[in-house]
C-alpha cells in the first residue's frame, strides 16, 4: 500500500527506543531527494509506504529562496506543466492528499506554452500584472482536469489551504502567534487572502467533482478552514527551530504561525481522514 502527502511541513518519527516501548513500528527511510524535502518511508510489517512529496505549486516551478522564505528572485511558474515530482508517482498511489495555496502569493513570473504571459508582484520588469488569482485558478483547473480524467483507482483528498494566525506582522516582518489555548467562537476572523484562496479552491473542486464520478475517480474534499480558525494555539510559533532561546532568552526568532505542528488540530485531521478511508 502506498500513501502520499503533498507539501506537508511537520512530521515526527519516534526515536527507536521510544518506538519500541510504545509498541510502534519505526519505519525505514528508503528515499530522500537532494534538498531533503521529499522523503519516503516503509513500514515493513504493514507493507505500507508513505511518501512526503515537496511540490508546493503542483506545477513546474523554479524557486530562489532560503529556509526562512527570503527570496532573491521571482518564482518562475509554468502554469501548463504538472510537476513531475508527484506526477511520476501518482499512478502507484493508493491514497493521496493534495494541498497548496499560500505559495501562490509569492512574487512570480508566469509561463504558458513556453512563453512569459505575465506576473505577480514584479514591478520594473515590463510584464503584465495578472495577479495570484489568475495563476491559482489556472493551476487548480489544470490539476483537477488531469485528476478527473486519469481513471485513478485510489482515494484522492484535496485539502483546502488553512488559515494562519500571525499577529503584529506577517511571516517576513516579525509576526507572532502567542496564543496557547483555542479561541472563542467568532473571536478570530478569516483574513481576506485566506478567503480568496479558499473560494478558488472550492470553485475548482466543485467543477471537478461533477465529473469525477463518471470517470470512476474517487476525489474527496478536506476543508478544515472554519475549525482551524479557532486554533491559534496549533502553530509552532517561535519553536519552529529546536530550543530557539537556549543561547539567548531574549533572542528575536522567526515565528511560524502558518503550519500546524501541535497536537490537537492534527489529531482531528487524522480522525476525519481515517473515518473517510474506513467508512467512506
- Give the domain-ending residue among 36, 53, 70: 53
Q: 3 and 79 share a domain?
A: no
Q: 148 and 60 share a domain?
A: yes
Q: 157 and 239 share a domain?
A: yes
- Give the domain-ending residue among 19, 34, 53: 53
Q: 43 and 63 share a domain?
A: no
Residues spanned by the domain of 170: 55-279
Asked if pLDDT for residue 6 goes beyond 80, the answer is: no
Per-residue pLDDT of 218-233, as tens digits, reads 999 999 999 899 999 9
Q: Can you give the chain as a three-state secondary structure string? A: CEEEEECCCCCCCCCHHHHHHHCCCCCEEEEECCCCCCEEEEEHHHCEEEEEECCCCCEEEECCECCCCCECCCEEEEEEEECHHHHCCHHHCCEEEEECCHHHHCCEEEEECCEEEEEECCCCCCCCECCHHHHHHHHHHHHHHHHHCCCCCCEEEEECCCCCCCECCCCCCCCECCCCCCCCCCCCCCCHHHHHHHHHHHHHHHHHHHHHHHHCCEEEEECCHHHHHCCHHHCCEHHHCCCCCCCCCCCCCCCECCCCCCCCHHHHHHHHHHHHHHHC
Q: 80 and 17 share a domain?
A: no
Per-residue pLDDT of 242-261, as tens digits, reads 999 999 999 989 999 999 98
Q: 128 and 178 share a domain?
A: yes
What CATH number does residue 105 fall under? 3.40.50
Q: How many domains does the chain have?
A: 2
Q: pTM of this prediction?
A: 0.90
Q: 49 and 115 share a domain?
A: no
Q: 137 and 17 share a domain?
A: no
Q: 70 and 119 share a domain?
A: yes
Amino acid at each position: 500500500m502506498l500513501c502520499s502527502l503533498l507539501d506537508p511541513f511537520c512530521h515526527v518519527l519516534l526515536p527507536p527506543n521510544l518506538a519500541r516501548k510504545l509498541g510502534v513500528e519505526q519505519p525505514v527511510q528508503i528515499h530522500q531527494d537532494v534538498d531533503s524535502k521529499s522523503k519516503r518511508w516503509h513500514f515493513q510489517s504493514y507493507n505500507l509506504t508513505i511518501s512526503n512529496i515537496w511540490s508546493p505549486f503542483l506545477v513546474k516551478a523554479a524557486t530562489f529562496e532560503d529556509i526562512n522564505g527570503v527570496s532573491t528572485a521571482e518564482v518562475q511558474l509554468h502554469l501548463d506543466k504538472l510537476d513531475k515530482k508527484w506526477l511520476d508517482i501518482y499512478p502507484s498511489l493508493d491514497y493521496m492528499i493534495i494541498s497548496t495555496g499560500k505559495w501562490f502569493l509569492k512574487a512570480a513570473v508566469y509561463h504558458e506554452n513556453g512563453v512569459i504571459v505575465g506576473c505577480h508582484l514584479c514591478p520594473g520588469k515590463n510584464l503584465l500584472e495578472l495577479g495570484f488569482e489568475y495563476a491559482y485558478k489556472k493551476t487548480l483547473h489544470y490539476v483537477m482536469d488531469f485528476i478527473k480524467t486519469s481513471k485513478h483507482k485510489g482515494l484522492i483528498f484535496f485539502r483546502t489551504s488553512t488559515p494562519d494566525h500571525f499577529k503584529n506582522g506577517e511571516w517576513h516582518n516579525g509576526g507572532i502567534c502567542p496564543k496557547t489555548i483555542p479561541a472563542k467562537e467568532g473571536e478570530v476572523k478569516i483574513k481576506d487572502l485566506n478567503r480568496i484562496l479558499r473560494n478558488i479552491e472550492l470553485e475548482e473542486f466543485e467543477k471537478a467533482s461533477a465529473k469525477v464520478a463518471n470517470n470512476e475517480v474517487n476525489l474527496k474534499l478536506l476543508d478544515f478552514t472554519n475549525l482551524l480558525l479557532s486554533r491559534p494555539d496549533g502553530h509552532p510559533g517561535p519553536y519552529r527551530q529546536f530550543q530557539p532561546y537556549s543561547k539567548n532568552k531574549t533572542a528575536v526568532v522567526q515565528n511560524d504561525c502558518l503550519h500546524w505542528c501541535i497536537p490537537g488540530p492534527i489529531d482531528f485531521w487524522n480522525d476525519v481522514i481515517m473515518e473517510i478511508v474506513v467508512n467512506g
